[in-house]
Chains A and B, each alone.
Chain A
Amino acid sequence: GGIITQTPKFLIGQEGQKLTLKCQQNFNHDTMYWYRQDSGKGLRLIYYSITENDLQKGDLSEGYDASREKKSSFSLTVTSAQKNEMAVFLCASSMGDWGTPSAETLYFGSGTRLTVL
Chain B
Amino acid sequence: GMPVEQNPPALSLYEGADSGLRCNFSTTMKSVQWFQQNHRGRLITLFYLAQGTKENGRLKSTFNSKERYSTLHIKDAQLEDSGTYFCAAENMGYKLTFGTGTSLLVDP
Contact = CB atoms under 8 A, between A and B. Distances in A.
Contact of A106 (B33, B97, B101): B33
Interface of A: 31, 35, 40-45, 48, 50, 56, 58-59, 88, 90, 92, 96, 98-99, 101-102, 104-111, 113
Interface of B: 4, 6, 31, 33, 35, 40-45, 48, 50, 86, 88, 90, 93-101
Nearest to B92: A98
A14 to B, nearest CB: 24
B96 A45 contact: yes
Contacts, number: 65
**Could you tell me the dominant secondary structure of chain B's interface residues?**
strand
Given A40-B100, A41-B100, A104-B31, A58 B42 contact: no
B90 A104 contact: yes
Given A98-B93, A101-B50, A105-B33, A43 B98 contact: yes
B40 to A, nearest CB: 6
Residue of B43, B44, B86, B88 contacting most chain A CB atoms (<10 Å): B43
Contacts of A43: 86, 88, 96, 98
A75 to B, nearest CB: 19
Contacts of A31: 94
B98 A44 contact: yes
Contacts of B4: 42
B94 A108 contact: no
Contacts of B98: 35, 42-44
10 contacts: A42-B99, A42-B101, A48-B94, A96-B94, A98-B94, A101-B31, A101-B50, A106-B43, A107-B45, A110-B41
